[in-house]
């Protein structure tokens, strides 16, 4: 069993990005990322802080627009419009979730698709589905980079994705299809989940439920990617996979924390650099 170390790979990618941003500066170009954070959700605040630190380390200019949870939808849209027109900003990221009174789809669609470094805009979603170049959501993109780094080819593998969100599950499915894996995608209404997961050479789980995947649900020698991150009552962070009991059955598995999470940050920085390069052209 081999651990897929996302933390070490993420750090290496960020070091390479720093070299690129240093070269950019010689051309008087500074890559810029703007983040909108609405409300006081502790997980969102923690994640945004990690993004800020990563930007600073990689030499990317970042600005945070922090807004109260009571802010109107129109005010958020005004801020997005301002950033769309700001030539110093290459990437715009709206931290999810948003308060209930805000239409999330409307907010995402308001972002210039050329600055959509989260890859959530319908334009980029469509390009991914069609196998065309665009911005890809950071978490599934990070999974693909992790597999590539460990020389795990997905072509021809039976892959099962557990979780069908627009942020992780669906783009993960499309990336795997584009790489010629055979993909089975499961969700909350899937009957007999184990009958799907036990067939998978590659099992990718992002359902947000601690311990969802047990050893009985995984075939011997499977590659298991755990995207879930859950905090137990004792404060411990765990994934969606029962790591202790599942790991001995696997050929490869990601730890939580230290697996996919750091790769998400690295891919956000890569997408921001990609947007900056597009602007420079």
189: tokens are 């209404």
Nearest 10 degrees: Cα torsion 160, 162, 168, 174:
30
In a domain, 108, yes or no: yes
Same domain as 237, residue 160 = yes
118 among known catalytic residues:
yes
274 among known catalytic residues:
no
pLDDT digits (tens, 9 = 90+) for 39-96: 988 888 888 999 999 999 999 999 999 999 999 999 999 999 999 999 999 999 999 9
Given pLDDT bands bounded at 50, 70 and 90, which one contains residue 259? Answer: very high
In a domain, 16, yes or no: no
Q: How far is CA 161 from the centre of its chain?
A: 15
Report the alpha-carbon distance of residue 7 to residue 13 in Å, rounded: 10
Report the alpha-carbon distance of residue 266 to residue 246 in Å, rounded: 27
Same domain as 165, residue 61 = no
Same domain as 231, residue 181 = yes
Given pLDDT bands bounded at 50, 70 and 90, which one contains residue 11? Answer: very high
Same domain as 148, residue 105 = no
Q: What is the pLDDT of residue 176?
A: 98
Same domain as 146, residue 107 = no
Same domain as 144, residue 85 = no
For residue 175, give the CATH number of its domain: 3.40.50.720
95 among known catalytic residues:
yes
Same domain as 252, residue 164 = yes
In a domain, 120, yes or no: no
Same domain as 244, residue 142 = yes
Write down the pTM of the prediction: 0.95
Q: What is the pLDDT of residue 80?
A: 98
**Domain containing 58: what range?**
30-112
Q: Residues 14, 95, 116, 226: which is the catalytic one?
A: 95
In a domain, 280, yes or no: no
For residue 78, give the CATH number of its domain: 3.40.50.10860
Q: Residues 90, 116, 118, 184: which is the catalytic one?
A: 118
Q: What is the pLDDT of residue 28?
A: 86
Q: What is the pLDDT of residue 160?
A: 98
Same domain as 229, residue 159 = yes
Query: What total number of domains does the chain contain?
Result: 2
Q: Residues 51, 115, 170, 274: which is the catalytic one?
A: 51
140: tokens are 């599934």
Percent of the chain with pLDDT over 70: 100
């Amino acid at each position: 069993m081999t651990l897929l170390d996302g933390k070490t790979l993420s750090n290496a990618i960020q070091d390479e990005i720093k070299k690129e941003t240093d070269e950019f500066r010689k051309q008087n170009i500074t890559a810029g990322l703007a983040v909108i954070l609405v409300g006081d959700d502790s997980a969102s605040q923690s994640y945004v802080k990690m993004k800020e630190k990563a930007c600073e380390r990689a030499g990317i200019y970042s600005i945070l627009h922090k807004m109260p949870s009571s802010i109107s939808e129109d005010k958020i849209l005004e801020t997005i419009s301002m950033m769309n027109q700001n030539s110093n900003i290459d990437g715009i990221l709206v931290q999810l979730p948003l308060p209930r009174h805000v239409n999330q789809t409307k907010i995402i669609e308001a972002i210039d698709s050329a600055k959509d470094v989260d890859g959530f805009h319908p334009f980029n979603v469509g390009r991914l589905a069609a196998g065309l170049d665009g911005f890809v959501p950071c978490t599934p993109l990070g999974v693909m980079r992790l597999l590539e780094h460990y020389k795990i080819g997905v072509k021809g593998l039976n892959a099962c994705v557990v979780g069908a969100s627009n942020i992780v599950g669906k783009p993960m499915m499309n990336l795997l299809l584009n790489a010629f894996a055979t993909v089975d995608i499961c969700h909350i209404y899937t009957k007999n989940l184990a009958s799907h997961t036990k067939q998978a050479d590659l099992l990718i789980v992002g359902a947000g439920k601690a311990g969802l995947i047990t050893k009985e649900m995984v075939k011997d020698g499977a590659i298991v990617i755990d995207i879930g991150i859950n905090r137990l009552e004792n404060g411990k962070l765990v994934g969606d996979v029962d790591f202790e009991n599942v790991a001995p059955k696997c050929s490869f598995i990601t730890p939580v924390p230290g697996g996919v999470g750091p790769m998400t940050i690295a891919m956000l920085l890569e997408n921001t650099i990609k947007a900056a390069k597009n602007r420079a052209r």
